[in-house]
Structure 1
Amino acid sequence: MPVFVKSGEDELQQSKPSSGSGRYWGLLGTGVLGGTLVLLYAVATPFVTPALRKICLPFVPATPAQIENVLKMLRLRTGSLVDIGSGDGRIVIAAAKQGFKAVGYELNPWLVWYSRYKAWREGVHHNTEFYRSDLWKVCFSQYSNVVIFGVPQMMSQLESKLQNELKVTAKVVACRFPFPTWLPDDTAGEGIDTVWAYDAQTFKLAKLEASAVASTEK
């Protein structure tokens, strides 16, 4: 029986991986890397974009003390409540548990979806609503109670907006930073947990008095 012996060249060719297989794994690796980068970009962009705005409202989770202080300022209140820049929904969910029909406006879509899930998990989804929207494009006249975690750069402009939109029976609770010209009717907490409560009747009356004084001085 004849015996066939492989040459060294034949053995070397068989030991090499096929070029088609190597190309497949290379394309697969590139696809996985590209998909991962796209996913990271999609998740990170809503968190980074606010920092590029002239007036931004960054996401900083409310502390348990801040939530407690907000609810303290609203303990005798009823009706609807809105949290401007609701983040992960902590204030809205806590307010809903106290009987408020609570709404949150948030620009970050991931936080909006998470808030809805969290409200469902906490069993208060029937009394909560979360919307993705720019706060400057929303009219807040329908709300009896307003909560805001603001930054100094936006408080003056927001003060004017709420001054014009809110009803005289509304109450505003500012967290971390007070409004520049309004005088608070009550405060709670200290440091970063401080909250300031304002009655719309008070700051609207003050505006009328200031306008009357200005007109007499002319």
Structure 2
Amino acid sequence: MISPLTAIVFVLICIFLFFGLVVFVGAPYIPSHRKDIKKAFDHFDINNSDVLVDAGSGDGVVLRSAASRGAQAIGYEINPILVGVSRLLSLRDPNVTVLLQNVWLATLPEETTIVYAFSVQRDEKKLIALLQREANRLNKPLRLLCYASPFTGMKASDTFEAYYLYIFHPLQSKNA
């Protein structure tokens, strides 16, 4: 029989591992604010013709905000606790899908029109490579909406407060 104290310590260690070690693979979990997302989605006109992919969807607030505008919203998250929270909070929304999957290893859905990411400079090159690879594969432009940190070597197509919009066009080269 496990003592209650042992069980609590085990749970706390698991939570620390899920939230602490994830930082080495992706951005840290920092909850987004609904009012900021709403203003940004108004500015960038996220609507029912969009399929938004959230690269690190956390508790799903960005997904639910996109879905409230009629968009399909697909979240990739590697923290199983946050996947559970997000799925629970999005339970009644048929436009929200949350995947326990690493976005760096994913193939984005063909319908994707925009990718949302909390931008960490450490991951800038990986994020650019992901979007360019997927724009090439899908043979269509993809929009990337970054929050927090602009890219150092790339000019944003549009900005709004702490949000930066980048557009990735498919490259025409066979080596793309």
TM-score range, shorter chain: 0.7 to 0.9
**2: distance between equivalents of 1:119 and 1:129?**
8
For residues 3-33 of structure 1, the C-alpha deviation after alignment (integer angstroms, 9 at most, x for no partner) is xxxxxxxxxxxxxxxxxxxxxxxxx7x7222
TM-score by length of 2: 0.85
Flag structure 1 segments of 5+ consecutive residues without an equivalent. 1-27, 212-218
**1: distance between equivalents of 2:108 and 2:157?**
21
Pairing of 1:25-174 with structure 2 (within 5 A):
31-51=3-23, 53=24, 55-75=25-45, 78-120=49-91, 123-124=92-93, 126-140=94-108, 142=110, 143-166=112-135, 167-174=139-146
Paired amino acid for 2:131? L
**2: distance between equivalents of 1:91 and 1:41?**
28
Q: Which has the larger radius of gyration?
A: 1
**Percent identical across equivalent pairs?**
25
Q: Which has the higher strand share?
A: 2
For residues 147-195 of structure 1, the C-alpha deviation after alignment (integer angstroms, 9 at most, x for no partner) is 0112110012210221121243321111101223332111111xxxx10
**2: distance between equivalents of 1:139 and 1:185?**
24
Q: Which has the higher helix share?
A: 1
**2: distance between equivalents of 1:50 and 1:136?**
13
**1: distance between equivalents of 2:140 and 2:168?**
5
Flag structure 2 segments of 5+ consecutive residues without an equivalent. none
SS at match of 1:171: strand
Partner residue in 2 for 1:196: 164
Paired amino acid for 1:94? S
Contact 1:141-1:165 within 8 A present in 2 as well: no
For residues 42-91 of structure 1, the C-alpha deviation after alignment (integer angstroms, 9 at most, x for no partner) is 2222011124x2x5310001123431243134416523110000111000
SS at match of 2:54: strand
**1: distance between equivalents of 2:98 and 2:130?**
21
